[in-house]
Chains A and B, each alone.
Chain A
Amino acid sequence: MPIDLRPYFDELERFADGQMSPAEQDAFELRLEQDEALADAHAAYEQLTADLRWAAGHDTLRQRLQALDDRMNERGTALARAQRLTQRRQRRWVVWGTVAALLLLAGVAAWYLARPTLARPTRNWEAYYQPDPGPAVTTGLLHSRPLLAEALDQYQSGHYPAALHSLGRVNSANVGADTLLYLRGLMLLRQGQGNAAQLYLRRVSDDSAGRSGALARRARYHLGMAYWQAQELAPALVTLRAVAADSLSPYRASARRAVAAGVLDGK
Protein backbone atom coordinates (compact mmCIF):
# COMPACT_ATOMS: atom_id res chain seq x y z
CA MET A 1 0.00 0.00 0.00
CA PRO A 2 1.81 3.14 -1.18
CA ILE A 3 0.01 5.61 1.04
CA ASP A 4 -1.49 5.44 4.50
CA LEU A 5 -5.00 6.90 4.43
CA ARG A 6 -5.52 6.87 8.17
CA PRO A 7 -4.34 10.44 8.85
CA TYR A 8 -6.75 11.73 6.17
CA PHE A 9 -9.62 9.31 6.68
CA ASP A 10 -12.05 11.60 8.51
CA GLU A 11 -11.71 14.46 6.08
CA LEU A 12 -11.81 12.26 2.98
CA GLU A 13 -14.89 10.43 4.22
CA ARG A 14 -16.74 13.62 5.17
CA PHE A 15 -15.86 15.14 1.78
CA ALA A 16 -16.87 12.06 -0.20
CA ASP A 17 -20.11 11.59 1.75
CA GLY A 18 -21.14 15.26 1.40
CA GLN A 19 -20.99 15.88 5.11
CA MET A 20 -18.95 19.15 4.87
CA SER A 21 -20.43 22.59 4.90
CA PRO A 22 -20.00 24.56 1.65
CA ALA A 23 -17.15 26.60 3.18
CA GLU A 24 -15.36 23.45 4.41
CA GLN A 25 -15.83 21.87 1.02
CA ASP A 26 -14.37 24.85 -0.83
CA ALA A 27 -11.40 24.89 1.51
CA PHE A 28 -10.87 21.12 1.11
CA GLU A 29 -10.99 21.36 -2.68
CA LEU A 30 -8.40 24.16 -2.55
CA ARG A 31 -6.14 22.01 -0.41
CA LEU A 32 -6.55 19.10 -2.83
CA GLU A 33 -5.07 21.28 -5.54
CA GLN A 34 -2.16 22.41 -3.38
CA ASP A 35 -1.36 19.41 -1.15
CA GLU A 36 0.05 16.55 -3.22
CA ALA A 37 -0.05 14.05 -0.36
CA LEU A 38 -3.72 14.86 0.26
CA ALA A 39 -4.46 14.50 -3.47
CA ASP A 40 -2.76 11.07 -3.50
CA ALA A 41 -4.72 10.03 -0.42
CA HIS A 42 -7.95 11.21 -2.07
CA ALA A 43 -7.18 9.16 -5.19
CA ALA A 44 -6.41 6.10 -3.08
CA TYR A 45 -9.61 6.62 -1.11
CA GLU A 46 -11.63 6.86 -4.33
CA GLN A 47 -10.03 3.65 -5.58
CA LEU A 48 -10.81 1.91 -2.30
CA THR A 49 -14.48 2.93 -2.40
CA ALA A 50 -14.74 2.02 -6.09
CA ASP A 51 -13.29 -1.40 -5.36
CA LEU A 52 -15.62 -1.69 -2.39
CA ARG A 53 -18.60 -0.84 -4.59
CA TRP A 54 -17.58 -3.61 -6.98
CA ALA A 55 -16.92 -6.11 -4.17
CA ALA A 56 -20.30 -5.40 -2.57
CA GLY A 57 -22.05 -5.75 -5.94
CA HIS A 58 -20.20 -8.96 -6.79
CA ASP A 59 -20.90 -10.45 -3.40
CA THR A 60 -24.54 -9.44 -3.55
CA LEU A 61 -24.96 -11.05 -6.96
CA ARG A 62 -23.20 -14.20 -5.78
CA GLN A 63 -25.48 -14.48 -2.77
CA ARG A 64 -28.61 -13.79 -4.82
CA LEU A 65 -27.66 -16.42 -7.42
CA GLN A 66 -26.87 -18.92 -4.68
CA ALA A 67 -30.17 -18.24 -2.90
CA LEU A 68 -32.06 -18.55 -6.18
CA ASP A 69 -30.25 -21.78 -6.95
CA ASP A 70 -31.21 -23.18 -3.55
CA ARG A 71 -34.84 -22.17 -4.06
CA MET A 72 -34.95 -23.75 -7.51
CA ASN A 73 -33.33 -26.91 -6.19
CA GLU A 74 -35.87 -27.11 -3.38
CA ARG A 75 -38.70 -26.54 -5.82
CA GLY A 76 -37.29 -29.19 -8.14
CA THR A 77 -36.98 -31.64 -5.27
CA ALA A 78 -40.53 -30.90 -4.13
CA LEU A 79 -41.84 -31.30 -7.68
CA ALA A 80 -39.97 -34.58 -8.11
CA ARG A 81 -41.34 -35.82 -4.78
CA ALA A 82 -44.87 -34.82 -5.78
CA GLN A 83 -44.40 -36.54 -9.12
CA ARG A 84 -43.13 -39.68 -7.43
CA LEU A 85 -46.14 -39.66 -5.09
CA THR A 86 -48.50 -39.16 -8.01
CA GLN A 87 -46.89 -41.98 -9.95
CA ARG A 88 -47.01 -44.25 -6.90
CA ARG A 89 -50.68 -43.37 -6.41
CA GLN A 90 -51.38 -44.02 -10.08
CA ARG A 91 -49.59 -47.36 -9.93
CA ARG A 92 -51.60 -48.28 -6.84
CA TRP A 93 -54.82 -47.32 -8.64
CA VAL A 94 -53.81 -49.42 -11.63
CA VAL A 95 -53.09 -52.42 -9.39
CA TRP A 96 -56.33 -52.05 -7.44
CA GLY A 97 -58.23 -51.32 -10.64
CA THR A 98 -56.82 -54.45 -12.25
CA VAL A 99 -57.66 -56.54 -9.19
CA ALA A 100 -61.17 -55.08 -9.08
CA ALA A 101 -61.62 -55.64 -12.82
CA LEU A 102 -60.44 -59.24 -12.50
CA LEU A 103 -62.76 -59.83 -9.54
CA LEU A 104 -65.61 -58.27 -11.45
CA LEU A 105 -64.78 -60.39 -14.49
CA ALA A 106 -64.65 -63.52 -12.33
CA GLY A 107 -67.97 -62.54 -10.73
CA VAL A 108 -69.59 -61.97 -14.11
CA ALA A 109 -68.20 -65.26 -15.42
CA ALA A 110 -69.44 -67.11 -12.35
CA TRP A 111 -72.86 -65.52 -12.69
CA TYR A 112 -72.97 -66.30 -16.39
CA LEU A 113 -72.14 -69.94 -15.85
CA ALA A 114 -74.47 -70.36 -12.89
CA ARG A 115 -77.43 -68.31 -14.10
CA PRO A 116 -80.77 -70.01 -14.83
CA THR A 117 -80.73 -70.14 -18.60
CA LEU A 118 -84.14 -69.08 -19.73
CA ALA A 119 -82.95 -68.73 -23.27
CA ARG A 120 -81.44 -72.24 -23.27
CA PRO A 121 -83.90 -74.72 -21.74
CA THR A 122 -82.35 -77.64 -19.92
CA ARG A 123 -81.89 -80.70 -22.10
CA ASN A 124 -82.27 -83.20 -19.26
CA TRP A 125 -85.46 -85.29 -19.47
CA GLU A 126 -85.73 -85.38 -15.65
CA ALA A 127 -86.31 -81.60 -15.58
CA TYR A 128 -89.61 -82.21 -17.43
CA TYR A 129 -90.55 -85.55 -15.96
CA GLN A 130 -93.62 -85.77 -13.78
CA PRO A 131 -93.22 -89.06 -11.88
CA ASP A 132 -96.06 -91.36 -11.02
CA PRO A 133 -95.76 -92.58 -7.40
CA GLY A 134 -98.16 -95.45 -8.14
CA PRO A 135 -101.07 -96.57 -5.96
CA ALA A 136 -100.88 -95.65 -2.27
CA VAL A 137 -99.78 -98.47 0.06
CA THR A 138 -102.82 -98.90 2.29
CA THR A 139 -103.51 -101.42 5.09
CA GLY A 140 -106.02 -103.09 2.86
CA LEU A 141 -103.48 -103.48 0.10
CA LEU A 142 -100.95 -104.86 2.57
CA HIS A 143 -103.39 -107.53 3.58
CA SER A 144 -104.80 -108.37 0.18
CA ARG A 145 -101.64 -108.10 -1.96
CA PRO A 146 -98.63 -107.97 0.37
CA LEU A 147 -96.02 -108.49 -2.38
CA LEU A 148 -97.44 -105.69 -4.51
CA ALA A 149 -97.59 -103.44 -1.43
CA GLU A 150 -93.96 -104.28 -0.69
CA ALA A 151 -92.92 -103.55 -4.27
CA LEU A 152 -94.78 -100.24 -4.25
CA ASP A 153 -93.30 -99.30 -0.91
CA GLN A 154 -89.78 -100.00 -2.20
CA TYR A 155 -90.50 -98.10 -5.43
CA GLN A 156 -91.78 -95.10 -3.53
CA SER A 157 -88.69 -95.23 -1.28
CA GLY A 158 -86.40 -95.15 -4.34
CA HIS A 159 -85.17 -98.74 -4.01
CA TYR A 160 -85.87 -99.63 -7.67
CA PRO A 161 -83.92 -102.95 -8.00
CA ALA A 162 -85.57 -104.29 -4.85
CA ALA A 163 -88.94 -103.05 -6.07
CA LEU A 164 -88.44 -104.81 -9.43
CA HIS A 165 -87.51 -107.99 -7.61
CA SER A 166 -90.59 -107.81 -5.39
CA LEU A 167 -92.77 -107.01 -8.38
CA GLY A 168 -91.50 -110.17 -10.12
CA ARG A 169 -92.85 -112.23 -7.28
CA VAL A 170 -96.37 -110.82 -7.56
CA ASN A 171 -98.85 -113.29 -8.92
CA SER A 172 -100.40 -111.94 -12.11
CA ALA A 173 -103.63 -113.65 -11.24
CA ASN A 174 -104.12 -111.24 -8.31
CA VAL A 175 -103.14 -108.09 -10.17
CA GLY A 176 -104.02 -107.00 -13.68
CA ALA A 177 -101.38 -107.78 -16.31
CA ASP A 178 -101.44 -104.21 -17.62
CA THR A 179 -100.88 -102.83 -14.14
CA LEU A 180 -97.85 -105.06 -13.64
CA LEU A 181 -96.45 -104.10 -17.01
CA TYR A 182 -97.03 -100.43 -16.28
CA LEU A 183 -95.43 -100.62 -12.87
CA ARG A 184 -92.42 -102.52 -14.25
CA GLY A 185 -92.04 -99.87 -16.96
CA LEU A 186 -92.18 -97.10 -14.35
CA MET A 187 -89.57 -98.80 -12.17
CA LEU A 188 -87.22 -99.44 -15.08
CA LEU A 189 -87.62 -95.83 -16.21
CA ARG A 190 -86.74 -94.52 -12.74
CA GLN A 191 -83.83 -96.93 -12.63
CA GLY A 192 -82.45 -95.32 -15.78
CA GLN A 193 -83.22 -98.20 -18.16
CA GLY A 194 -85.25 -96.29 -20.72
CA ASN A 195 -84.82 -98.88 -23.46
CA ALA A 196 -86.12 -101.71 -21.28
CA ALA A 197 -88.93 -99.55 -19.92
CA GLN A 198 -90.14 -98.86 -23.47
CA LEU A 199 -91.11 -102.56 -24.01
CA TYR A 200 -93.49 -102.64 -21.07
CA LEU A 201 -94.87 -99.17 -21.42
CA ARG A 202 -95.44 -99.60 -25.17
CA ARG A 203 -97.42 -102.78 -24.56
CA VAL A 204 -99.68 -100.96 -22.12
CA SER A 205 -100.13 -97.85 -24.26
CA ASP A 206 -100.67 -99.89 -27.47
CA ASP A 207 -103.07 -102.30 -25.90
CA SER A 208 -106.03 -102.03 -28.21
CA ALA A 209 -108.46 -102.93 -25.51
CA GLY A 210 -107.36 -100.27 -23.14
CA ARG A 211 -105.99 -97.72 -25.64
CA SER A 212 -108.38 -95.05 -24.57
CA GLY A 213 -108.18 -96.11 -20.90
CA ALA A 214 -106.66 -94.11 -18.12
CA LEU A 215 -103.72 -96.50 -17.69
CA ALA A 216 -102.87 -96.37 -21.40
CA ARG A 217 -102.89 -92.57 -21.29
CA ARG A 218 -100.48 -92.53 -18.38
CA ALA A 219 -98.29 -95.25 -19.96
CA ARG A 220 -98.07 -93.16 -23.15
CA TYR A 221 -96.62 -90.24 -21.28
CA HIS A 222 -94.02 -92.39 -19.48
CA LEU A 223 -93.23 -94.12 -22.78
CA GLY A 224 -92.44 -90.72 -24.30
CA MET A 225 -90.15 -89.94 -21.40
CA ALA A 226 -88.53 -93.41 -21.75
CA TYR A 227 -87.77 -92.64 -25.40
CA TRP A 228 -86.26 -89.35 -24.28
CA GLN A 229 -84.21 -91.03 -21.59
CA ALA A 230 -82.87 -93.42 -24.25
CA GLN A 231 -82.03 -90.42 -26.44
CA GLU A 232 -84.56 -91.44 -29.06
CA LEU A 233 -85.77 -87.92 -29.57
CA ALA A 234 -87.99 -88.32 -32.63
CA PRO A 235 -90.34 -91.01 -31.17
CA ALA A 236 -90.19 -89.14 -27.85
CA LEU A 237 -91.45 -85.97 -29.55
CA VAL A 238 -94.21 -87.81 -31.44
CA THR A 239 -95.39 -89.59 -28.30
CA LEU A 240 -95.32 -86.50 -26.09
CA ARG A 241 -97.10 -84.45 -28.76
CA ALA A 242 -99.86 -87.04 -28.72
CA VAL A 243 -100.03 -86.75 -24.92
CA ALA A 244 -100.05 -82.96 -25.15
CA ALA A 245 -102.98 -83.16 -27.59
CA ASP A 246 -104.93 -85.54 -25.39
CA SER A 247 -107.26 -83.46 -23.25
CA LEU A 248 -107.97 -86.41 -20.95
CA SER A 249 -104.33 -87.16 -20.14
CA PRO A 250 -103.31 -86.29 -16.57
CA TYR A 251 -99.85 -85.49 -17.96
CA ARG A 252 -101.03 -83.09 -20.65
CA ALA A 253 -99.51 -79.99 -19.04
CA SER A 254 -96.17 -81.68 -18.41
CA ALA A 255 -96.05 -83.02 -21.98
CA ARG A 256 -96.91 -79.59 -23.39
CA ARG A 257 -94.11 -78.01 -21.41
CA ALA A 258 -91.61 -80.55 -22.72
CA VAL A 259 -92.78 -80.09 -26.31
CA ALA A 260 -92.86 -76.29 -26.04
CA ALA A 261 -89.28 -76.19 -24.72
CA GLY A 262 -88.15 -77.26 -28.18
CA VAL A 263 -85.47 -79.51 -26.80
CA LEU A 264 -86.76 -82.60 -28.56
CA ASP A 265 -86.99 -81.05 -32.02
CA GLY A 266 -83.51 -79.56 -31.75
CA LYS A 267 -84.50 -75.83 -31.52
Chain B
Amino acid sequence: MPTPLAETLTQLRIGNQKFLIDFYQHSRHLFARWAQRKHQLTADQAHGLLQDTLLDFYDHVADGRITRMPADLRAYLYGMAQERIAAQVPAHQPLPAAEASRRQRLLAQFNQLSTDCQQVLTYFYFRGYHFEKMGGKMGFPNATVARRQKSTCLRKLYDLVRGGYEPITGEVA
Protein backbone atom coordinates (compact mmCIF):
# COMPACT_ATOMS: atom_id res chain seq x y z
CA MET B 1 0.00 0.00 0.00
CA PRO B 2 1.58 3.31 -1.01
CA THR B 3 2.35 5.77 1.76
CA PRO B 4 1.14 9.37 1.32
CA LEU B 5 4.68 10.52 0.54
CA ALA B 6 5.16 7.87 -2.12
CA GLU B 7 1.77 8.84 -3.49
CA THR B 8 2.98 12.44 -3.69
CA LEU B 9 6.01 11.35 -5.70
CA THR B 10 3.80 9.38 -8.08
CA GLN B 11 1.51 12.36 -8.50
CA LEU B 12 4.52 14.54 -9.30
CA ARG B 13 5.68 12.07 -11.97
CA ILE B 14 2.33 12.11 -13.70
CA GLY B 15 2.27 15.90 -13.73
CA ASN B 16 0.41 16.90 -10.55
CA GLN B 17 2.53 19.77 -9.32
CA LYS B 18 0.15 21.01 -6.63
CA PHE B 19 2.40 19.63 -3.91
CA LEU B 20 5.34 21.81 -5.01
CA ILE B 21 3.14 24.86 -5.51
CA ASP B 22 1.74 24.44 -1.99
CA PHE B 23 5.22 24.00 -0.59
CA TYR B 24 6.36 27.23 -2.23
CA GLN B 25 3.34 29.12 -0.98
CA HIS B 26 3.78 27.97 2.62
CA SER B 27 7.57 28.06 2.81
CA ARG B 28 8.54 31.13 0.80
CA HIS B 29 8.64 33.46 3.76
CA LEU B 30 10.52 31.07 6.08
CA PHE B 31 12.95 30.14 3.32
CA ALA B 32 13.68 33.81 2.63
CA ARG B 33 14.43 34.40 6.31
CA TRP B 34 16.72 31.36 6.37
CA ALA B 35 18.52 32.47 3.18
CA GLN B 36 18.87 36.00 4.50
CA ARG B 37 20.31 34.80 7.81
CA LYS B 38 22.60 32.11 6.38
CA HIS B 39 23.64 33.55 3.06
CA GLN B 40 22.71 37.24 3.20
CA LEU B 41 20.36 36.94 0.23
CA THR B 42 17.67 39.53 -0.42
CA ALA B 43 14.04 38.43 -0.39
CA ASP B 44 13.84 38.46 -4.20
CA GLN B 45 17.04 36.42 -4.54
CA ALA B 46 15.77 33.91 -1.97
CA HIS B 47 12.44 33.54 -3.77
CA GLY B 48 14.26 32.91 -7.06
CA LEU B 49 16.52 30.37 -5.37
CA LEU B 50 13.57 28.46 -3.93
CA GLN B 51 11.85 28.39 -7.32
CA ASP B 52 15.00 27.00 -8.99
CA THR B 53 15.41 24.45 -6.22
CA LEU B 54 11.83 23.23 -6.62
CA LEU B 55 12.33 22.99 -10.40
CA ASP B 56 15.48 20.91 -9.77
CA PHE B 57 13.56 18.68 -7.42
CA TYR B 58 10.81 18.23 -10.01
CA ASP B 59 13.40 17.38 -12.69
CA HIS B 60 15.02 14.84 -10.41
CA VAL B 61 11.67 13.18 -9.78
CA ALA B 62 10.68 13.31 -13.46
CA ASP B 63 13.86 11.71 -14.79
CA GLY B 64 14.16 9.14 -11.98
CA ARG B 65 17.08 10.59 -10.06
CA ILE B 66 14.81 10.66 -7.02
CA THR B 67 12.92 7.40 -6.55
CA ARG B 68 11.95 7.71 -2.88
CA MET B 69 10.47 10.69 -1.16
CA PRO B 70 12.95 12.10 1.38
CA ALA B 71 11.87 11.59 4.99
CA ASP B 72 12.47 15.27 5.79
CA LEU B 73 11.56 17.02 2.58
CA ARG B 74 12.17 20.50 3.98
CA ALA B 75 15.72 19.65 5.06
CA TYR B 76 16.33 17.96 1.70
CA LEU B 77 15.21 21.00 -0.29
CA TYR B 78 17.19 23.39 1.92
CA GLY B 79 20.21 21.16 1.32
CA MET B 80 19.64 21.35 -2.45
CA ALA B 81 19.43 25.13 -2.19
CA GLN B 82 22.65 25.21 -0.20
CA GLU B 83 24.39 23.08 -2.85
CA ARG B 84 23.16 25.48 -5.48
CA ILE B 85 24.65 28.43 -3.62
CA ALA B 86 27.91 26.55 -2.96
CA ALA B 87 28.22 25.64 -6.66
CA GLN B 88 27.50 29.29 -7.49
CA VAL B 89 24.98 28.25 -10.12
CA PRO B 90 23.46 31.35 -11.69
CA ALA B 91 19.76 31.76 -11.04
CA HIS B 92 17.39 30.02 -13.48
CA GLN B 93 20.13 27.72 -14.76
CA PRO B 94 19.80 23.97 -14.25
CA LEU B 95 22.15 21.89 -12.18
CA PRO B 96 24.56 19.73 -14.18
CA ALA B 97 23.06 16.31 -14.91
CA ALA B 98 23.61 13.44 -17.33
CA GLU B 99 20.87 14.31 -19.79
CA ALA B 100 20.68 17.90 -18.98
CA SER B 101 22.18 19.27 -22.14
CA ARG B 102 19.80 17.49 -24.50
CA ARG B 103 16.76 18.29 -22.43
CA GLN B 104 17.78 21.87 -21.84
CA ARG B 105 18.25 22.33 -25.59
CA LEU B 106 14.78 20.96 -26.15
CA LEU B 107 13.39 23.22 -23.42
CA ALA B 108 14.96 26.24 -25.10
CA GLN B 109 13.54 25.17 -28.47
CA PHE B 110 10.14 24.51 -26.90
CA ASN B 111 10.17 28.08 -25.62
CA GLN B 112 10.84 29.33 -29.16
CA LEU B 113 7.46 27.96 -30.32
CA SER B 114 4.39 30.17 -30.38
CA THR B 115 2.37 30.36 -27.18
CA ASP B 116 -0.48 28.38 -28.80
CA CYS B 117 1.90 25.62 -29.91
CA GLN B 118 3.41 25.40 -26.43
CA GLN B 119 -0.10 25.19 -25.00
CA VAL B 120 -1.20 22.48 -27.44
CA LEU B 121 1.87 20.31 -26.80
CA THR B 122 1.59 20.86 -23.02
CA TYR B 123 -2.08 19.81 -23.05
CA PHE B 124 -1.31 16.66 -25.04
CA TYR B 125 2.06 15.49 -23.71
CA PHE B 126 2.05 16.88 -20.15
CA ARG B 127 -1.61 17.07 -19.15
CA GLY B 128 -2.52 13.97 -21.19
CA TYR B 129 -5.67 15.56 -22.64
CA HIS B 130 -7.31 13.69 -25.55
CA PHE B 131 -7.91 15.60 -28.77
CA GLU B 132 -11.55 16.35 -28.02
CA LYS B 133 -10.79 17.92 -24.64
CA MET B 134 -7.80 19.76 -26.04
CA GLY B 135 -9.98 21.12 -28.88
CA GLY B 136 -12.48 22.39 -26.30
CA LYS B 137 -9.75 24.08 -24.25
CA MET B 138 -8.13 25.72 -27.27
CA GLY B 139 -11.36 26.66 -29.04
CA PHE B 140 -10.85 24.33 -32.02
CA PRO B 141 -14.00 23.23 -33.87
CA ASN B 142 -13.42 19.48 -33.41
CA ALA B 143 -10.97 16.75 -32.39
CA THR B 144 -9.60 16.34 -35.95
CA VAL B 145 -8.51 20.00 -36.04
CA ALA B 146 -6.92 19.55 -32.63
CA ARG B 147 -5.00 16.48 -33.85
CA ARG B 148 -3.74 18.37 -36.92
CA GLN B 149 -2.65 21.33 -34.80
CA LYS B 150 -0.78 19.06 -32.43
CA SER B 151 0.90 17.32 -35.34
CA THR B 152 1.90 20.62 -36.90
CA CYS B 153 3.36 21.92 -33.63
CA LEU B 154 5.30 18.70 -33.04
CA ARG B 155 6.81 18.97 -36.51
CA LYS B 156 7.78 22.60 -35.88
CA LEU B 157 9.52 21.55 -32.69
CA TYR B 158 11.26 18.71 -34.46
CA ASP B 159 12.41 21.10 -37.16
CA LEU B 160 13.94 23.31 -34.46
CA VAL B 161 15.57 20.25 -32.93
CA ARG B 162 17.02 19.31 -36.28
CA GLY B 163 18.36 22.82 -36.48
CA GLY B 164 17.61 23.01 -40.17
CA TYR B 165 15.15 25.87 -39.94
CA GLU B 166 14.86 29.34 -38.52
CA PRO B 167 12.98 29.63 -35.19
CA ILE B 168 9.25 29.45 -35.81
CA THR B 169 7.20 31.69 -33.55
CA GLY B 170 4.10 32.35 -35.64
CA GLU B 171 0.50 31.51 -34.77
CA VAL B 172 -0.86 27.99 -35.14
CA ALA B 173 -1.67 27.38 -38.79
| A62 at interface by CB-CB < 8 Å | yes
B157 in complex: contacting residue of A1, A17, A52, A65, CB < 8 Å: A52
Known: A4-B162, A56-B126. Contact between A61 and B106, CB under 8 A? no
Nearest B-chain residue to A4, judged by Cβ: B162
Are A57 and B110 closer than 8 Å at their CB atoms? Answer: no
Which of A5-13, A20-28, A109-117, A146-154 lies on the face that meets chain B? A5-13
Are B110 and A59 closer than 8 Å at their CB atoms? Answer: yes
Nearest A-chain residue to B25, judged by Cβ: A68
| A53 at interface by CB-CB < 8 Å | yes
Size class of the contact patch on chain B: 35 or more
| Secondary structure dominating the interface of A | helix
Known: A48-B161, A69-B47. Contact between A61 and B28, CB under 8 A? no
On chain A, the residues within 8 Å of B25 by CB distance are 68, 72
| B122 at interface by CB-CB < 8 Å | yes
Residue-by-residue, is B24-37 near A (CB-CB < 8 Å gives 1, otherwise 0)? 11001000000000
**Smallest CB separation, A152 vs chain B (Å):** 97
Nearest A-chain residue to B131, judged by Cβ: A17
On chain A, the residues within 8 Å of B125 by CB distance are 49, 52-53, 56
Are A54 and B17 closer than 8 Å at their CB atoms? Answer: no
Residue-by-residue, is B80-122 near A (CB-CB < 8 Å gives 1, otherwise 0)? 0000000000000000000000110011001100000010011
| Secondary structure dominating the interface of B | helix
> What total count of A-B pairs have CB within 8 Å?
85
**Smallest CB separation, B56 vs chain A (Å):** 10
| B166 at interface by CB-CB < 8 Å | no
Are B151 and A13 closer than 8 Å at their CB atoms? Answer: yes
On chain B, the residues within 8 Å of A52 by CB distance are 106, 110, 121, 125, 154, 157
**Smallest CB separation, A137 vs chain B (Å):** 99
Are B103 and A72 closer than 8 Å at their CB atoms? Answer: no
On chain B, the residues within 8 Å of A51 by CB distance are 102-103, 106
On chain A, the residues within 8 Å of B161 by CB distance are 1, 48
Q: Which of B109-154 contact A (CB under 8 A)?
A: 110-111, 118, 121-122, 125-126, 147, 151, 154
Are B28 and A55 closer than 8 Å at their CB atoms? Answer: no
Are B51 and A57 closer than 8 Å at their CB atoms? Answer: no
A1 in complex: contacting residue of B110, B118, B162, CB < 8 Å: B162
Residue-by-residue, is B1-44 near A (CB-CB < 8 Å gives 1, otherwise 0)? 00000000000000101001100110010000000000000000
| A60 at interface by CB-CB < 8 Å | yes
| A130 at interface by CB-CB < 8 Å | no
Are B21 and A57 closer than 8 Å at their CB atoms? Answer: no
**Smallest CB separation, A189 vs chain B (Å):** 88
Are A48 and B158 closer than 8 Å at their CB atoms? Answer: yes
On chain A, the residues within 8 Å of B154 by CB distance are 13, 52
| B69 at interface by CB-CB < 8 Å | no
Known: A13-B151, A51-B103, A72-B28. Contact between A56 and B110, CB under 8 A? yes
Are B121 and A57 closer than 8 Å at their CB atoms? Answer: no
On chain B, the residues within 8 Å of A65 by CB distance are 20-21, 24, 51, 54-55
Are B155 and A58 closer than 8 Å at their CB atoms? Answer: no
Among all A-B residue pairs, the 4 with the closest Cβ atoms: A56-B126, A56-B122, A55-B107, A65-B51
Contacts from B to A (Cβ < 8 Å): 15, 17, 20-21, 24-25, 28, 47, 51, 54-55, 58-59, 62-63, 102-103, 106-107, 110-111, 118, 121-122, 125-126, 147, 151, 154-155, 157-158, 161-163
List 7 A-B residue pairs with CB atoms under 8 Å apart, sorted by A's residue number.
A48-B158, A52-B110, A55-B106, A61-B54, A62-B51, A65-B21, A69-B28
**Known contacts A1-B161, A52-B121, A54-B103, then 10 further A-B pairs from the complex at CB < 8 Å, ordered by chain A residue:** A1-B162, A13-B151, A19-B147, A52-B110, A54-B63, A55-B103, A56-B125, A59-B118, A61-B17, A68-B25
